[in-house]
Amino acid sequence: MTFPAFQQEDVKSDISQKLPDQQFLLFTTKEEDLKTAETKKLNRAHEYEKENTRSVCLLEQKRKVVSSNIDVPPARKSLEELDMDKVTAAMVLTSLSTSPLVRSPPVRPNESLNGSWKEGGFVPSSTSSSGYWSWNAPSDQSNPSTPSPPLSADSFKAFRTPSQPDDGIDEGETSNLLFDEPIPRKRKNSMKVMFKCLWKNCGKVLSTAAGIQKHIRTIHLGRVGESDYSDGEEDFYYTEIRLNTDSVADGLSSLSPVSPSLASPPSFPTQDAIRPETSCAKTETKLMTPLSRSAPTNLYLVHTDHAYQATPPVNIPGSAKFTPNGSSFSISWQSPPVTFTGIPVSPTHNRPAGSGEQKQSHTVLSSPPRVAFGLRKPRGEGKKCRKVYGMENRDMWCTACRWKKACQRFID
């Protein structure tokens, strides 16, 4: 059985290969944050590898105990151990890769109905990216280009692209990335993986990542003489698509229904946004973009995330708002009173024409009318200076009355 070994190698190669791209996917404007996040992910990837090794060792120890109880001859035992190692490793890896953590994507209600996904791969459409979403209109959340608000500053949030339902990655993994949870492994399948260029009006599909990167470099980025050099920018402009429809069905079947609590707006969004450990995790995973699928966990490599950071591949319009309980609170992109505009763009990379300047700002305003709080004090019942002295004796009024302020002489 070569599956475990292959997968491990696959993981490692993915990690080493994709980590450099992290900086483009983090929704932060600070280079230090980028480095920090990248380092964290490296550490997580290593921890995960350790964890897997530990799990295998534990199982191995357990197996040895059992084997010793049944008194297996030493010579035969060593041979068996070799096989058992593989089997055990396979079991561990399989259980990890098929664990609920991985297989229960917190999808939005209409995700599974998204036509483009059914076709085996998500292809972002700039024309359909209204960017507007609402708590009351969950269908809009299925929009692939829906950006998500960086609800809390401490949790660097990126715009999210709905993951391919069949690739096994989802917001759960995003949560893993963000909240130090074990990183699930990529499920292997036999599907044909293609790479599609997301550049506007291109859509070129190639069979290898290197090919598509080279295509982007030479055709779109104009780096003719740098065929072997890749700074990762090309990753932004292509996406992985899968041609095997079986996996699509599998992905759809693995979609877990969205709980009402997720579908409904939070009682007070700002609070939820501030708490990363509670509903924030749910909300964010729903709202934000996975930081990167080209991360160590980028076992489910999806470059569509890149499309969010800038044009030309896909525009990132954005407007999101929700109005919980009919209150006046709202969050919206590119529209007051709250504006989130964020385009995760690597500062070190030139953006093709049309790419907006990276700007990240968010403001939350909630200012009910002052009248609602009854700030205007009730009118005094007693006589005031004006009534007592009359207009002709205005000089006898108290200062407040003269200034048309609340009477200080005849206080109620």
Partner DNA sequence: TTTGCCGGGCC
Partner DNA sequence: GGCCCGGCAAA
Nearest to 316 by CA among 175, 198, 399, 197: 198
- When asked if residue 395 is in the footprint of DNA (CB under 7 A), the reply is no
* Cβ 370 to DNA shortest distance, Å: 6
- When asked if residue 384 is in the footprint of DNA (CB under 7 A), the reply is yes
- When asked if residue 62 is in the footprint of DNA (CB under 7 A), the reply is no
Q: How many residues sit in the footprint of DNA (CB under 7 A)?
A: 22
Nearest to 303 by CA among 142, 178, 166, 123: 123
Segment contacting DNA by CB under 7 A, of 45-53, 170-178, 213-221, 367-375: 367-375
Q: What token pair was written down for 306?
A: 């890149």
- Backbone φ, ψ for residue 148 (5° rounding): -125, 150
Q: In the stretch 324-363, what mask flags binding to DNA with x, by CB under 7 A? A: ----------------------------------------
Looking up tokens 């599974």, which residue turns up? 112
Q: Is 26 helix (H, G, I), strand (E, B) or coil?
A: coil
- When asked if residue 31 is in the footprint of DNA (CB under 7 A), the reply is no
Residue from the set 54, 380, 393, 396 that interacts with DNA by CB under 7 A: 380
Checking phi first, is residue 57 left (phi over 0); if not, alpha (psi -120 to 50) or beta? alpha
Residue from the set 39, 383, 393, 396 that interacts with DNA by CB under 7 A: 383
Segment contacting DNA by CB under 7 A, of 166-174, 239-247, 338-346, 397-405: 397-405
Q: Binders of DNA among 171-210, rule CB under 7 A?
A: none
Distances in whole angstroms, Cα of residue 83 to Cα of each of 67, 90, 292, 320:
14, 10, 36, 54
Segment contacting DNA by CB under 7 A, of 26-34, 38-46, 277-285, 399-407: 399-407
Residue from the set 83, 226, 246, 412 that interacts with DNA by CB under 7 A: 412
- When asked if residue 369 is in the footprint of DNA (CB under 7 A), the reply is no
Nearest to 285 by CA among 402, 181, 412: 181
- When asked if residue 396 is in the footprint of DNA (CB under 7 A), the reply is no
Q: What token pair was written down for 348?
A: 């070190």
Separation between Cα atoms, residue 178 and residue 286, nearest integer Å: 13
Nearer to DNA, 253 or 399 (CB): 399
Nearer to DNA, 368 or 380 (CB): 380
Cα separation of the two ends of the chain: 90
Separation between Cα atoms, residue 38 and residue 63, nearest integer Å: 37
Q: What token pair was written down for 386?
A: 């004006």
CB atoms within 10 A of CB 303: 29
- When asked if residue 377 is in the footprint of DNA (CB under 7 A), the reply is yes
Distances in whole angstroms, Cα of residue 250 to Cα of each of 167, 187, 254:
9, 12, 6
- Backbone φ, ψ for residue 278 (5° rounding): -110, -120
Residue from the set 371, 372, 392, 396 that interacts with DNA by CB under 7 A: 371
Nearer to DNA, 44 or 384 (CB): 384
- When asked if residue 9 is in the footprint of DNA (CB under 7 A), the reply is no
Residue from the set 115, 228, 375, 392 that interacts with DNA by CB under 7 A: 375
* Cβ 326 to DNA shortest distance, Å: 22
- When asked if residue 389 is in the footprint of DNA (CB under 7 A), the reply is no
Nearer to DNA, 224 or 375 (CB): 375
Residue from the set 75, 357, 378, 392 that interacts with DNA by CB under 7 A: 378
Size of the chain in residues? 412
Nearer to DNA, 224 or 370 (CB): 370
DSSP 184: P
Pairing of strands 238-242, 205-206: unpaired
* Cβ 327 to DNA shortest distance, Å: 22
Q: Which residues bind DNA (CB under 7 A)?
A: 370-371, 375-381, 383-384, 386-387, 399, 401-407, 412
